[in-house]
Amino acid sequence: MSLQIRLLGGLLIESGGRNLPRIPSRPGRSLFAFLVLNRDRQLSRDLLAGMFWPDMPDNQARRRLSQALWQIQTLFIEGGVTGPYIIATPNTVRFNPAADYWLDVEVFETAANPLKDTPAGASRVDGNPGALAEAVDLYRGDLLAGFYDDWLLMDQQRLRQLYYRALAHLAMMHKSRGEFESALVYARRLVSLEPLREDAHRDVMRLCLLAGRPNEALLQYEVCYSALADELGAEPEAATTELFESIAAQRRAGRRPFVPAARSPLFDLATPVPMVGREVPRTAALEAIEGALSGRGVALLVEGEPGIGKTRLLEAIAEDANWRGFGVLWGEALPGDAARSYHPLATALTGALSRLRSEQLAAQVDGLWLGELARLVPGLRELLPDVPPVAALELSEEAGRMREAIARTVVGLGRITPHLLILDDFQWADDDTIAAVVDLAVAIREAPVVLCLSYRAQEARDRPQVWDALRRIDTHGRSRRLPLESLSEGETAELIRVSSAARGDSDLIGRIHSETGGNPLFVLETLRAFHEHNVAVAESEEAIGDFPLPATVQDLIARRLRSLEMADRAILNVFAVAGLEAEASVMALALNRPRADFFAGLDLLVSRGILFERGDRYRFRHEQVRRVVLEELSSRDSDMLHSSVAMALEQVDPSDSEAIAHHLVRAGRAGAAKPHSVRAAERAVAMRAYATAASHFRTALEAEPAGDDDRLELLFGYEQVLDVLGRRDEQAVTLAEMRLLADSTGNRRAAVLRRTAWHLGHTDRFGDAARAAQEALGADTVAGDEVAMTEDRLVLGMIGLWSGELAAAVEHLREGVRLASVAEQQARVRRALGSALSAVQEYEEAAREAAAALELSGAADDPRGQAEALGLLGVITMERGQAAEAVGYYDRAVLLCRDIGYRHGEAVNTANRGNALWYAGRIPDALTSFAEAIELFRSMGNRRGEVLVQANAASIHHSVVGDDATAAEYSRSALDYFIEVGNEDGAAQVLCNLADIERRAGRLEAAAGHLRAGLAAVGRAGNRWLEVQLLYSEAQLSLAAGDDQSAAGAAESGLALCRELGLSDFSAGLLSVLGLARLAQGALDEAGAVSAEAMGLLSRGADQDYLVPYRHGIVCDAVGESEAAATAFAEAHELLTQRLRDLTADQRSSALLVPEHRAIVEAAANQSPRTRRVRLARRDVPTGRRLRDEDFVVVAWTLQAAEDERIEDPGDRRRHRLRRLLAETEAHRAAATVVDLAEGLGASVRTIRRDLQLLRSSGLAAATRGSRRASSDRGPSA
């Protein structure tokens, strides 16, 4: 059974939870204690006999020793204690150290002995107080209290001093943590132990005050005064009296020190500080989250100054979203993140894609986009090994495809479960992330996704890329801004209460609010500074004074940091240099500090609330703290630390080229950084992050000079990236240096000249471009490099196309085709040749070249090349007037583009398909195609493409369908863009559309204003073709206004331009308007001649071709040529019918309400005996009541048509005519009775009913209004 031995405060022996009887003799008790305390050695019997029985003869003393040992052994035996605790031989005695025992002194010394090496009064106290506190509690009194043996004095004094040191250490540990109540407990015990030590009394006084008990602090002074007077006849020292007077003065003034609770959220890193005063933005965010559940995605823009609480609000929003079943993705941009491609998005998506989620995503998102995303999230291919490889595109197109992949992935995740994507500190994001987020904000509008961006307002405004992106998101996406304001004084008081678990008085709260401006970070840092001030007061010997608040949060942080010891500040410095967060193991290596010391210092920084632990990394509590640390670093120290961090990273993670390059450059070691910068640039290019790649290339080029060959290779990569980014000025400077470095002759110089030619061509300097390309061709010809010569010819051909030198372009490209031997290259050159031949209207050869390019691209497994060739075939076929065949080519091109993620090609070919469908007369399909193209361009953020398609679609909506509301919306949208970018031609075209819309609505002044602005724009731009279009519109407007002379003048001006420019298509329309003007002026003969000339020039199939014969019919009717008028009206009606043939019922109804269309229908009906105008009840008028005049509409029935005669069977012919009458009735939203139909077709009611039954059985919805003949249900023929 175990033995428990207590020697502190007296001798007590226990076993099995009970006290053993006392050893009978006093010498026996003292002997047992001595043996236990000296258990580490054997003691001779002579020594023990002489020590404990010094006054007896030796023999008698030895007998007394044996008797005492017998008493001890008997006690153990009778107490049931087994095991030999005392080992005795004839000559020696010892306590058995191997026995089962517990000794309080041993436990106490084990816990307290390390303090012997700690200097007295040390300000730094580490470790856990728990074990030491338990050991101190064992000290019930001095060693063997009540024993007065001489041998005890030294051990008693030693343990007493160790106890004092342990109490002082515990008090210091609790003071350093702000645990003043706990510290006071140990301070009082110190006073009890040493009542004459004034420093101990002062410590109790300070702690009483800080614990909120000033009366006890003053009473402690009285205790000190009495102790000194009674024992020494002395008075307290001046420092003690001054402290007493200071406390007394504060008490009289009613002031109490503000003491945050040590266990409050302010210091407990596991408990976030509760959010205060953000109800409005949080409610707004919650509304957005609720809206997203119904598929209305939104972007939340959280704006505020540093420390205002943006991240805390984001955490609350994330909690709200998570509670509602949202998946939460969190990414953040870090200072210096511009060097890392897509880092915030990559972080957010990587954390979301588990194996299960990846498999779910594969069911939502096409493998093409996941394959592209795998460049950003490499682990995705391991999760989805069947994801296909991605086809190559042009570099600029691949950047767009990456952005599209990100957007589709986020939307796909939203379809699996609603998602919240948070990107914190957006002001630091890399340019590629910024571009992707703009596209994403548009893509989520109809998805259950909330995008939440936080940013510092001023820093975002200072960075044009960020601010422009935020403006675009606010303009084009569905967004909501959530600006964060400073806290009110009441909110500041609440923040103080919930964060510190303490209440400050109103004066203190007012002071804190005034000095901090209600900035939450400043408030919390102030509270932490109060805490540290209190700790300093508790640890110091100075009088207690008020805490002076600094003017700025930076000053406050700097004051807090100055209290750190040098070793701890060194750790903080290396973390600050590393970034906002870093791995501790890397920092320990960089600092070259023993790990134990390093992590002890790290723990202190965490306990002070400066850093906090996140996984295997440590992070600054706020970036403002890091900024203050960096500002106080000397440039020399900063350089050394950056170098140390770079070397540590090279050992631990050599693949982190971006970080290593950054630190080496900051250390002034640009030469060492160069290979890392190059690798980072290559990685960025692979991830389609070209803006980031440009930054790394620039860093590599700014390094110490290298050989010309190495530098030239870097410049080639840099120039290519600049070309993708469209940074033409930087590209020009780079090309100039490349020309200086390249050899005077040879392939390298030719390659530089070729790149120069491309650049000059893209900047419209066609002459310089051609000269550069010719020089490259000369060099390559001398070298006999046919592949390079082919590229030179291609450049020259494209320059010719762009500059209008079409014959030269064709010649160069034909030579390029002859030289090309590689299938992919030959396909490119043949495609360019096809474009050039089409431009010179050599359509047959152009089609052959395009078809050859298509075949070669297929052989080279180049789907993008195939799509381009198909698009070219569509253009050529359209220009040959074969719109239906062109639609087929565009369909194939669109499908190919879609398969490879070539979004720009898909949008362009979809728009071209819309034009082809328009010309093919398939108006509904054309409108659908235009709508798809508009959405495609919009999703890519391509505003130019979007408005160009809108301008085309507006023409159809206005001129054909009669949907002027949509036409006006599209036109105004396009006009805003054209004005913004200074595109005079585009603005003029749209102003013409708007003028026509206003004219139809009768707003003639507004129409005239649009035309004046449009003519002014084309006057500045010099676009004569658009001027003709505007003059045509002006002539029609003048006619509508009754100004025949102005109408004639505008038409004649337009005709003069048509003759000058060879524009026959517009001539017919202008002549027809001129004929009406002459008719109004009374010049009948001239009107007839001009109108006949218009008919001779009419190009049937052109837009609004039916207006020319209609106007001709008006002229003929006016001059008495009724037969010619009837023929003209019939032709106009036929052309209009063909144009409206494929419209839906709703579109056709709308189209027939267009004034010009309605006039054509009425004119044809009135002039032709084969038509009849009848009044029929509207379809929506209920039966069973008398009809009023407003219940009727006039419908023009075509009773006979030439097509009828081609049907031989009389019954089939009659039913064919019946279907036509029903369709014409439906088009006017009317309903005919069976009697109406019988009268119109000259058949019996019974026959018509039988025919209707047959039609209905074949699937035709042949609706009628019933057979009642009463006049209440029918109106007379009109």
Quickly list DSSP for 171-184. Answer: HHHHHHTT-HHHHH
d(CA 956, CA 356): 48
d(CA 656, CA 343): 13
How do strand 581-583 and strand 617-620 relate by DSSP bridges?
A: antiparallel
**101 - beta bridge partners?**
3
DSSP line for 512-571: HHHHHTT-HHHHHHHHHHHHHHHHHHHHSSSPP-PPPPPSSHHHHHHHHHHTS-HHHHHH
The full 3-state SS of 1000-1027, as one line of letters, equals HCCCHHHHHHHHHHHHHHHHHHCCHHHH
307: exposed, middle or buried (C-beta count within 10 Å: 0-12, 13-18, 19+)? buried
Copy the structure tokens of residue 385. Answer: 């090994």
Residue whose pair of structure tokens reads 């000079």 in the numeric block: 705
Copy the structure tokens of residue 680. Answer: 């980072």
d(CA 955, CA 927): 11
Instruction: Assess contact for 8 and 2: CB atoms under 8 A.
Output: no
> Rounded to 5 degrees, what are φ and ψ at 588?
-60, -40
Instruction: Assess contact for 1129 and 1115: CB atoms under 8 A.
Output: no
d(CA 49, CA 31): 10
Count other Cβ atoms within 10 Å, centred on residue 517. 16
CA-to-CA dists, residue 974 to 188, 940, 981, 982, angstroms: 83, 17, 11, 12
3-class SS at 452?
strand
Count other Cβ atoms within 10 Å, centred on residue 12. 15
Phi-psi domain of 144 (left: phi exceeds 0; alpha: psi -120 through 50; beta: other): left
Q: Which superfamily does 1024-1168 belong to? A: Tetratricopeptide repeat domain (1.25.40.10)
Give residue 510's identity as a one-letter amino acid code.
G
DSSP line for 962-983: --HHHHHHHHHHHHHHHHHHT-
Residue whose pair of structure tokens reads 């009082």 in the numeric block: 188
CA-to-CA dists, residue 442 to 293, 420, 436, 438, 871, angstroms: 17, 15, 10, 7, 27
How do strand 449-456 and strand 298-304 relate by DSSP bridges?
A: parallel
CA-to-CA dists, residue 267 to 428, 568, 1178, angstroms: 29, 18, 79
Q: Which superfamily does 179-257 belong to? A: Tetratricopeptide repeat domain (1.25.40.10)
What's the DSSP call for residue 479? E
- Name every residue whose Cβ is closer than 8 Å to that of residue 1002 and which is 6 or more positions away in sequence: none
Pick the CATH number of 279-464+471-485 from 3.20.20.70, 3.40.50.2300, 3.40.50.970, 3.40.50.300: 3.40.50.300
d(CA 234, CA 228): 5
Mean pLDDT of successive 10-residue segments in the chain (1278 residues)? 88 89 91 92 91 91 92 86 87 91 91 71 55 88 90 92 90 81 90 90 87 87 90 89 85 71 68 86 94 92 92 93 93 75 92 88 92 90 88 87 94 95 94 93 92 94 93 84 92 87 76 86 83 70 61 80 89 93 92 88 86 86 88 93 94 92 91 92 90 92 74 93 91 93 80 94 90 93 92 94 89 94 92 91 92 93 93 90 90 93 92 90 90 88 87 90 92 90 88 93 93 90 84 93 92 89 79 92 90 87 85 90 87 86 80 87 70 85 82 86 73 88 89 85 84 88 63 38
Beta-carbon-side half-sphere exposure of residue 617 (alpha carbons within 13 Å): 11
CATH 1.10.10.10 maps onto the chain at 3-101, 559-653
The predicted pLDDT at position 1207 comes to: 80
The predicted pLDDT at position 178 comes to: 74
Exposure string over 921-955, b if 16+ CB within 10 A, otherwise e: bbbebbbebbbbbbebbbbbbbbebbbbbbbbbbb
The predicted pLDDT at position 1278 comes to: 37
d(CA 367, CA 477): 27
Enumerate the H helices of 742-882 as residue ranges. Answer: 747-762, 766-783, 786-803, 806-819, 823-839, 843-859, 863-879
CATH 1.25.40.10 maps onto the chain at 179-257, 1024-1168
* Rounded (10°) angle between helices 489-500 and 520-539: 50
d(CA 793, CA 773): 8
Give residue 105's identity as a one-letter amino acid code.
V
Give the closest residue to 535 by CA, choosing from 127, 265, 270, 257: 257
The predicted pLDDT at position 547 comes to: 64
Give the closest residue to 8 by CA, choosing from 118, 182, 162: 162
Give residue 31's identity as a one-letter amino acid code.
L
Residue whose pair of structure tokens reads 């440039």 in the numeric block: 635
The predicted pLDDT at position 77 comes to: 86
d(CA 793, CA 819): 9
Q: Spell out where 63-199 has E strands.
A: 86-88, 92-95, 101-103
Count other Cβ atoms within 10 Å, centred on residue 419. 26
Sign for the pseudo-dihedral over CA of 1087, 1089, 1092, 1093: negative
Q: The domain at 559-653 falls in which architecture? A: Orthogonal Bundle (1.10)
Copy the structure tokens of residue 669. Answer: 């070691």
How many helices, marked H, and strands, marked E, lie in the chain?
59, 18
Exposure string over 105-122, b if 16+ CB within 10 A, otherwise e: bbebeebbeebeeeeeee
Give the closest residue to 935 by CA, choosing from 560, 530, 513, 442: 442
d(CA 1232, CA 1275): 11
Q: Spell out where 1067-1212 has E strands.
A: 1171-1178, 1192-1198
pTM: 0.71
How do strand 92-95 and strand 86-88 relate by DSSP bridges?
A: antiparallel
Instruction: Assess contact for 453 and 273: CB atoms under 8 A.
Output: no
d(CA 1253, CA 1246): 11
> Rounded to 5 degrees, what are φ and ψ at 522?
-60, -40
Count other Cβ atoms within 10 Å, centred on residue 230. 10
Copy the structure tokens of residue 978. Answer: 């054209």
> Rounded to 5 degrees, what are φ and ψ at 1247?
-65, -45
d(CA 1041, CA 1030): 16
Q: Spell out where 199-263 has E strands.
A: none
> Rounded to 5 degrees, what are φ and ψ at 116?
-65, -25
Q: Quick one: fold of 3-101?
A: Arc Repressor Mutant, subunit A (1.10.10)
